Amino acid sequence: MRSPLSNILLKIFSNAFYRAHAGMLLFAAFVLFGMVEPSQLLGYHITLMLAFISTPLMMLAVFAVWLLYTFKCWHFVAGQVFALHQQFLFYSISSYQKTKQFVAWFILQAAIALPVLAYAFIAVGVGLKHGFYFGPLVILVYCVLLVAISAWFYMRMINQLIDGSSQSIILKLTKSWKKPYFSLYIYYVFDKLKLKYVITKGISYLIITGVFLMFADVSHDLRVAGIALLAIAVSHSVLIFDERQFEETFLIFSRTLPYSRLQLFLSFWGVYFALLLPEAIWLFVRFSPLMAGGLLIFALSLILLFHSLLYRFGLNMEKYMTWVLGLFIVLFWVVMFRQIWALVCMNLMAAYGVFYLNYYKNLPYVPPAED
Amino acid sequence: MLQFVNYKKAYGAYPALQVPDLNLEKGIYWIKGVNGSGKSTLLKSIAGILAFDGDIVLDGNISIKKQPVGFRKLVNFAEAEPLFPEFLTGAEMIRLFADAKDAPKGQEAKYIESMGIQTYMDRPIGSYSSGMLKKLSLVLAFLGNPKLILLDEPLITIDTAALKILYSWISEQSRENGVSFMLSSHQPLDADELPKSETLLVQDQTLTAVS
């Protein structure tokens, strides 16, 4: 029988994880299984598995992919844990014995890593059948380690006391700086969302490298860069959501301050420009200044559009992600048809329009019962 | 001073509050009502936090909907249970509000001092007690040159000494600068400490003036 704890963890995180990543998993399944001639499918995979069991370099590559998948899990769970309606976890789970907590998080991680684990176990079976022993052992140890480290990471996260008095180094260093309103978002990211920010930048890096590897023969085509930036904007969607959540929670007072909507909209430009600095550097190193500036504005226009959508939907993650992915698919084709500059204008107009019409309206904030 | 035009607020299908066309003169108002009657909804609407149907107009020509920025310059608000970014210090919050509300330079000093919160100003807000946070939010509500200050449950969480000081600020601002106040509270305001106040009753999801 499942303990009540792992029951609730699976309910909260596992279902949502598969819902949020259904597209990605289907795509991976298609690449792995759909692109091979059905009659050769079995042979192909057995060869593939034996190859990485027997070649250390291949094994490292496969391990790297699994590690990325694990990072994705961390990214997702961390994002969910700190969502406001999940805050009860902090004062419920932490009263369980540490071993029980660990087991429950272990089960959760195993559940969300099931696609990887299933593949790994089949590979272990294939390896053993073909007389390999060391490779399968390494794979098993690696898988257990990945799941255990994840469980430990989640457990640490939930048992960490929220210590408001400790400020991160960046905040200590900037103590004497004047902090204009819009900069609060940036400080928040460097105070509370450091890990998420680093992971997002890591994903950005992988996207850039991956897209340019894949299209190496046409890497000077503007469309390739456009698609990379589109993917980068999508990878920032969780960070954008967190920022809006921060605004709705801690910056509610800002609605009583006399800032105009244009002022606020322009300040978001500043925020996201600051957060996109690593990507901006890459763009300016790789492309001519004019092109790089244009591409950067393209990425910013997308991010601002995602940001504005949240004023329309409120903090509804599912609806938001559906729209982000839907837009990704549609805009992908717009980029393919070389309409990237028209797209920048449309994005910006749509972003400002949605923001302008909804900023004072349709507030997702519902006050708690009055006392 | 403040005019409600066809004000209506609902949370989804639940009507939260309505105000028949009502015109409030300058003064100090005590908003009375039981739990869940809509006191906070009223104050948050006037503060510009909550969306609603209809309009609220200040001094006959500044509408919260048509002049969202101008209106907010003149109306200040302190929440019942304020939440501010924990990584900021009190001094940084004050600088932010003073800047946004065009407060005269050094205006905050006397408020900080009379509330006795100087020593906390450079600490991050995450380290504040709820009383400290409340005092900070009250100071913020007095910054700038407001025509109307809204205080949601100002009497809770602060100690009696601080309460006396708050009353003195209200009296002074009302007397010297003609600032109007709307305060929500379960207990009546202290008549000895304050100039004459009017009562507004929130009942059955409707706001009415009690004469």
Question: Residues, chain B, total?
Answer: 211
pLDDT of residue B181: 93
Q: Who among A164, A259, A370 is closest to B100 (CB)?
A: A259
Tens-digit pLDDT profile for residues A289-327: 988 899 999 999 999 999 999 988 888 777 888 888 889
The pTM is what? 0.71
Task: Please indicate if any CB of chain A lies within 8 Å of the CB of B191.
Answer: no
Task: Please indicate if any CB of chain B lies within 8 Å of the CB of A30.
Answer: no
pLDDT of residue A192: 78
Q: How sure is the predictor about A200, in pLDDT bands with cuts at 50, 70 and 90?
A: confident
Q: Who among B39, B48, B69 is closest to A260 (CB)?
A: B69
* Cβ contact A168–B87 (<8 Å): yes
Report the b/e string of A322-349 with b at 16+ CB within 10 A: ebbbebbeebeebbeeeebeebbeebbe
Q: Which residues in A lie closer than 8 A to residue B37 (C-beta atoms)?
A: 370
| 3-state secondary structure at position B2 | strand
pLDDT of residue A164: 47
pLDDT of residue A366: 45
Distance CA B179, CA A340 (A): 54
Lowest-confidence region among A216-220, A309-313, B88-92, B126-130? A216-220
Distance CA A135, CA A61 (A): 14
> What is the rounded average pLDDT of the residues B65-93?
88
* Cβ contact A250–B84 (<8 Å): yes
Q: Which residues in B lie closer than 8 A to residue A356 (C-beta atoms)?
A: none
The range of the structural domain enclosing residue B135 comes to: 2-210
Interface probe with B: pick from A160, A181, A250, A370, most Cβ of B within 10 Å? A370
Q: Are A218 and A285 in contact (CB under 8 A)?
A: no
Tens-digit pLDDT profile for residues A9-49: 888 888 888 887 877 787 777 777 776 777 888 888 888 88
Task: Specify the number of domains making up chain B.
Answer: 1
Among B111, B124, B95, residue whose Cα is nearest residue A177:
B95
Q: Who among A256, A361, A362 is closest to B72 (CB)?
A: A256
Q: Who among B100, B122, B127 is closest to A257 (CB)?
A: B100
Q: What is the DSSP secondary structure assignment for residue B25, as one 8-state letter?
A: P
- The H or E element containing residue B4 is strand B2-11
Among B136, B135, B194, residue whose Cα is nearest residue B162:
B135
The phi and psi torsions of B14 (rounded to 5 degrees) equal: -95, 115
Give the pair of three-digit tokens for residue B210: 């009690």
Among B157, B82, B86, residue whose Cα is nearest residue B123:
B86
Distance CA B152, CA B184 (A): 5
| Nearest chain B CA: its distance from A255 CA (Å) | 5
Task: Please indicate if any CB of chain B lies within 8 Å of the CB of A267.
Answer: no
| Contact residues, B window 69-108, toward A, CB-based 8 Å cutoff | 69-73, 75-77, 79-80, 82-89, 92, 95-97, 99-101
CATH number, domain containing residue B148:
3.40.50.300
Tens-digit pLDDT profile for residues A43-67: 888 888 898 888 888 899 899 889 9
Task: Please indicate if any CB of chain A lies within 8 Å of the CB of B15.
Answer: no
Residue at token pair 């209809």: B54
Q: Are B190 and B157 in contact (CB under 8 A)?
A: no
* Cβ contact A191–B87 (<8 Å): yes
> What is the rounded average pLDDT of the residues A220-246?
87
Distance CA A14, CA A111 (A): 7
* Cβ contact A256–B35 (<8 Å): no
> What is the rounded average pLDDT of the residues A219-229?
82
**Mean pLDDT of chain A, nearest integer:** 84
Query: Is the pLDDT at A163 greater than 70, yes or no?
Result: no
Q: Which residues in A lie closer than 8 A to residue B76 (C-beta atoms)?
A: 256
Query: Is the pLDDT at A146 greater than 90, yes or no?
Result: yes
- pLDDT more than 90, % of chain A: 27
- Residue A141: Cβ-neighbour burial (10 angstroms; 0-12, 13-18, 19+): exposed
ipTM of the prediction: 0.78
* Cβ contact B38–A370 (<8 Å): yes
Lowest-confidence region among A90-94, A329-333, B46-50? A90-94
Query: Is the pLDDT at A165 greater than 50, yes or no?
Result: no
The residue that leads in pLDDT, A154 or A21, is: A154
Alpha-carbon distance values, A174 to A178, A184, A243, A329, B56 (Å): 8, 12, 20, 41, 40
Task: Please indicate if any CB of chain B lies within 8 Å of the CB of A169.
Answer: no
Q: CB contacts < 8 Å between A and B, how many?
A: 106
Q: Who among A256, A260, A370 is closest to B39 (CB)?
A: A370
Task: Please indicate if any CB of chain B lies within 8 Å of the CB of A85.
Answer: no
The residue that leads in pLDDT, A165 or A40, is: A40
> What is the rounded average pLDDT of the residues B83-103?
87
| Contact residues, B window 171-190, toward A, CB-based 8 Å cutoff | none
Q: Which of A265-274, B41-50, B80-89 has the highest mean pLDDT?
A: A265-274
- The H or E element containing residue A202 is helix A194-214
Closest chain A residue to B143 measured between Cα atoms? A257
Which distant-in-sequence residues (6+ apart) come within 8 Å of A193 by Cβ?
A239, A242
| Nearest chain A CA: its distance from B119 CA (Å) | 15
* Cβ contact B97–A257 (<8 Å): yes
The residue that leads in pLDDT, A162 or A229, is: A229
